[in-house]
Structure 1
Amino acid sequence: MKVYQNSTHHQVFVIGAGAAGLMASVTARDLGLDVAMIDSNDRIGKKVLTTGNGRCNITNESTAMGTEEAVALARKYHSNNAGFPLPVLEQFGIRQTIDFFFMLGLPLISLEDGRMYPMSLQAGAVLDIFQLALEDRNVPVYFKNKVLDVTVSEEYPRFSILCQNEAGEEHVYTSEYLILCTGGLTAPKTGTDGSGYTLAGRLGHTLVNPVPGIVQLKLDYPHLKELSGVKFDGTGRILVNGEVIRSEFGEILFTDYGLSGPPILQLSRKAAFYLAQGEEVILSVDLMPDRTEEEVAEFLNGHWRIFGHRTVANSFIGVVNKKLIPILLKEAGIGESDTGLLCRDLTEETKHTFIRLMKQWAFRVTDTNSFTNAQTTAGGIDTTELTEGTLESRLVPGLYLAGEVMDVDGDCGGYNLQWAWSSGYVAATALAKRVAGV
């Protein structure tokens, strides 16, 4: 047996006291393991406090129905290894999440679009409940410890975790098993700074290049300042090489740098990955998603016939947001000197341009906002190097991964926290079975 000076030993160490780490620790302890946590912060779950606008969107019950629940839920997740999330979600899905929090003493309620929150609508309540759960189970948390390195040995104890505290003092923690729950690159002020990628890389794992996910898009467009603040219900579509990659409907918001709103956040993952590959990405916006292009043409042509005596600008009043009108006129080639143009004098070509703008107003995407603004990280540790259904490393036996650190990310609406709960539970359960020899 190795002898370490100034070391602390537990059977299992969980690195990271975020959502996945908390779930893994509570589950591992309930299954009889000697588990402890290490975190660089001074309290558990700092990032959880920022989720759901401070209410903590724990999960989403919209897919919690029928025998195909896990399959429907898996469609909300993305990875270069497409089938990887399903075996995890089959073991611990939405119903199990609801039951788990009820067991801890945290009843959930469902609000818009099936999004579920603590009944108090306070993210802090989630952390308070987890703190009580850790105390009830005597799970120690070693706070203010920045992990500098992790080494693995063929001898006992297998893992050595070198840490540094806020005073600059180093300490070694040792264990037979390790669960890495360090998160991705989003919200770096809460401690998710990508350091887990470095640790996993030193143990031989490969990184799928991470990009911001669920984030606003930046556009190359000269009139964004004039449009800033305009909201509308529409459909956004991401196009690469003329092909629609994904489309989403909902409230879209113009900003002074580009576009935001739920549909844009959902589309951002695709945009970010294609931009990272050097592809040209186009965002097409449909201002009238409830009508076909033919119906829009019929409506506008009829409108212009009835109000042929009005200016083109005035014909759009009440049809679209008023701030859009001068920009649409510029897009259609109607300059400031032509603002008095009457509807009856519109050319067929200009009419077709307006109809196209209503249905397919195209913008070039230049970038996304940064990880600081993103809700999740797309990319991470390559999941082909993990065992499906257990999350154990294929390269380092006894090492498990959970949460955002791996290349799995979910849609907006509670699905990323659901992945944290699901993967944390599955990693701890698989580890307990390994220890028991099952």
Structure 2
Amino acid sequence: MNKNQTSKHHQLIIIGAGGSGLMAAVTARDMGIDAAIIERNDRVGKKVLTTGNGRCNITNESTATGTDEAVALSRKYHSNQAGFPLPVLQQFGVRKTIDHFLTLGLPLISLEDGRMYPMSLQAASVLDIFQLALDDRNVPVYFKNIVLDVIYSPNHPRFTIICQTETEEQAVYTSEYLFLCTGGLTAPKTGTDGSGYELAQRLGHTLVHPVPGIVQLKLDYPHLKELSGIKFEGWGHIIVRDDVIRSEYGEILFTDYGISGPPILQLSRKAAFQLAKEESVILSVDLMPGRTEEEVVDFLETRWGVFGHRTVADSFIGIINRKLIPILLKEAGIDQEPHLLCQDLSWKTKKKFYRLLKQWEFKVTDTNSFTNAQTTAGGIDTTELKEGTLESKLVPGLYLAGEVMDVDGDCGGYNLQWAWSSGYVAAKSLANHLSGV
């Protein structure tokens, strides 16, 4: 070791001071493990500051009302290995999360749709509480250390972590156990740039190709600028090979690049994976969700019959957003007939309107980037991890937690819940291993 090199040893090294890494460190120390964190930033939880519009949507209590909390909660998660999240969530679900934060000194409150936040409604409070918890437990955090390589050896010590410090000197850390809590590819400015994938792959793990999740969709449509800013309550459906593969309801927003809103964010994972497979992806939207197709036909036929003397454009006033009307006329092919009366509508044109109001289809060309995404879909293959412990099947002593693995949740606090759950379970599993349980 040269004179510019420092070296430290801990029983457990955790790479990453995001949500899962912080939870893992506090839990591990509470269970008697000598744990330390390596973090590339100058403070803990930098990405957490960006969540929940700066309020930090810690979890969601909407699944915590029944007796099968973990089962209900697990339905909010996605992975190539569908059942993988359940054993983790059974050990640390929403109720335990609420209690755990209360013991750390952070009471939570519930707002819309069961979303839970710190009582202060400030994401910074979450980080401050964690920093206090680390200080209380004397958990060292080695800030401004960029991990260059991880070397595994079957002999003591198992793991050698080589880092570059802010002064460009080299620091070497060794440990018997290693947690990868490095996040995915979202918010690269906060340090979650996918570097953990490379570390895991060097140790022999396989990467499920990551795509942006909980993100806006880009559409191939010539009138997006005219649609931009229009909001409506309705259904969105992702269609691949004429099959609807997921549907979501809520407020949908057209933008100058495509479409957004909570339902679209929920649908984006399916769209992104299908696009990555070079499949053709269609988004169908329902502008009149409160009526069936038959009811829409009856409603419009009645309206056109009563107001047959009005123009077709005027017949839609009060039913849909006024800015949508000229675009629907273009889609129906009558935009060059501004004075066409309802009584003169052809059956062929009527059928176009019925379809547009219930099944308006757009071609999805892409998603917005990881910079705009709230989570990463994909990651390290969970079939290479032990269910219920999160230890690697390939590298003894290596555990993964958080977004680095191929598990992602719906929006509404579920991705942070996975960070807390997986960080806790990894630490608990290691403690059980060390105590021979």
Residue 383 of structure 1 pairs with residue 351 of structure 2? no
The answer for the alignment partner of 1:307 in structure 2 is 307
CA deviation map 1:323-344 (0-9, x unaligned): 10000000001133x1110000
The answer for the alignment partner of 2:360 in structure 1 is 361
What is the DSSP-based 3-state SS (H/G/I as helix, E as strand, rest coil) of the residue aligned with 1:147? strand
What is the DSSP-based 3-state SS (H/G/I as helix, E as strand, rest coil) of the residue aligned with 2:363? strand
| Alignment of structure 1 residues 216-235 onto 2, 5 Å | 216-235=216-235
Residue 318 of structure 1 pairs with residue 318 of structure 2? yes
Instruction: Output the CA distance in 2 between the equivalents of 1:6 and 1:420.
Output: 31
What is the DSSP-based 3-state SS (H/G/I as helix, E as strand, rest coil) of the residue aligned with 1:236? strand
| Alignment of structure 1 residues 367-406 onto 2, 5 Å | 367-406=366-405
Q: TM-score, normalised by structure 2?
A: 0.99
Tell me how far 1:6 sits from its aligned partner. 2.9
The answer for the alignment partner of 1:281 in structure 2 is 281
| Alignment of structure 1 residues 239-254 onto 2, 5 Å | 239-254=239-254
Tell me how far 1:253 sits from its aligned partner. 0.1
Instruction: Output the CA distance in 2 between the equivalents of 1:393 and 1:235.
Output: 41
The answer for the alignment partner of 1:428 in structure 2 is 427
Cα RMSD for the two superposed structures: 0.8
Instruction: Output the CA distance in 1 between the equivalents of 2:286 and 2:109.
Output: 34
The code of the aligned residue for 1:429 comes to: K
The answer for the alignment partner of 1:260 in structure 2 is 260
Tell me how far 1:65 sits from its aligned partner. 1.7
| Alignment of structure 1 residues 9-408 onto 2, 5 Å | 9-336=9-336, 338-408=337-407
Instruction: Output the CA distance in 2 between the equivalents of 1:143 and 1:303.
Output: 67
Instruction: Output the CA distance in 1 between the equivalents of 2:115 and 2:354.
Output: 36
Determine if contact 2:64/2:94 at 8 Å carries over to the other structure: yes
Instruction: Output the CA distance in 2 between the equivalents of 1:152 and 1:407.
Output: 23
The code of the aligned residue for 1:133 comes to: A
**Gapped runs of 5+ residues in structure 1?**
none
Instruction: Output the CA distance in 1 between the equivalents of 2:298 and 2:91.
Output: 52
Instruction: Output the CA distance in 1 between the equivalents of 2:290 and 2:383.
Output: 42
Tell me whether 62-71 or 320-329 shows the greater mean CA deviation: 62-71
Tell me how far 1:66 sits from its aligned partner. 2.1
Tell me how far 1:437 sits from its aligned partner. 1.6
Instruction: Output the CA distance in 2 between the equivalents of 1:178 and 1:402.
Output: 11
CA deviation map 1:49-92 (0-9, x unaligned): 00000000000000002221100000000000000000000000
Instruction: Output the CA distance in 2 between the equivalents of 1:176 and 1:276.
Output: 38
CA deviation map 1:89-111 (0-9, x unaligned): 00000000000000001000000
The code of the aligned residue for 1:415 comes to: Y
The code of the aligned residue for 2:216 comes to: Q
Instruction: Output the CA distance in 2 between the equivalents of 1:236 and 1:5.
Output: 56
Tell me how far 1:435 sits from its aligned partner. 1.2
Determine if contact 2:216/2:265 at 8 Å carries over to the other structure: yes
The code of the aligned residue for 1:268 comes to: S
CA deviation map 1:171-202 (0-9, x unaligned): 10000000100000000000000000000000
What is the DSSP-based 3-state SS (H/G/I as helix, E as strand, rest coil) of the residue aligned with 1:113? helix
Tell me how far 1:403 sits from its aligned partner. 0.1
Instruction: Output the CA distance in 2 between the equivalents of 1:284 and 1:6.
Output: 58
Instruction: Output the CA distance in 1 between the equivalents of 2:179 and 2:65.
Output: 31
What is the DSSP-based 3-state SS (H/G/I as helix, E as strand, rest coil) of the residue aligned with 1:11? strand
The answer for the alignment partner of 2:408 in structure 1 is 409
Instruction: Output the CA distance in 1 between the equivalents of 2:88 and 2:79.
Output: 13
Determine if contact 2:326/2:335 at 8 Å carries over to the other structure: no
Determine if contact 2:5/2:169 at 8 Å carries over to the other structure: no
Determine if contact 2:253/2:260 at 8 Å carries over to the other structure: yes
What is the DSSP-based 3-state SS (H/G/I as helix, E as strand, rest coil) of the residue aligned with 2:268? helix
CA deviation map 1:217-240 (0-9, x unaligned): 000000000000000000000000
The code of the aligned residue for 2:89 comes to: L
What is the DSSP-based 3-state SS (H/G/I as helix, E as strand, rest coil) of the residue aligned with 1:179? strand
The code of the aligned residue for 1:344 comes to: Q
What is the DSSP-based 3-state SS (H/G/I as helix, E as strand, rest coil) of the residue aligned with 2:295? helix
Q: 4+ residue runs of structure 1 moved beyond 2 angstroms?
A: none
Instruction: Output the CA distance in 2 between the equivalents of 1:253 and 1:6.
Output: 53
Instruction: Output the CA distance in 2 between the equivalents of 1:5 and 1:143.
Output: 16
Q: TM-score, normalised by structure 1?
A: 0.98
CA deviation map 1:298-344 (0-9, x unaligned): 111111111111110111111100110000000001133x1110000
**Gapped runs of 5+ residues in structure 2?**
none
Tell me whether 366-375 or 305-314 shows the greater mean CA deviation: 305-314
Tell me how far 1:5 sits from its aligned partner. 6.4
Instruction: Output the CA distance in 2 between the equivalents of 1:88 and 1:300.
Output: 51
What is the DSSP-based 3-state SS (H/G/I as helix, E as strand, rest coil) of the residue aligned with 1:52? helix
What is the DSSP-based 3-state SS (H/G/I as helix, E as strand, rest coil) of the residue aligned with 2:232? strand
Instruction: Output the CA distance in 1 between the equivalents of 2:410 and 2:290.
Output: 24
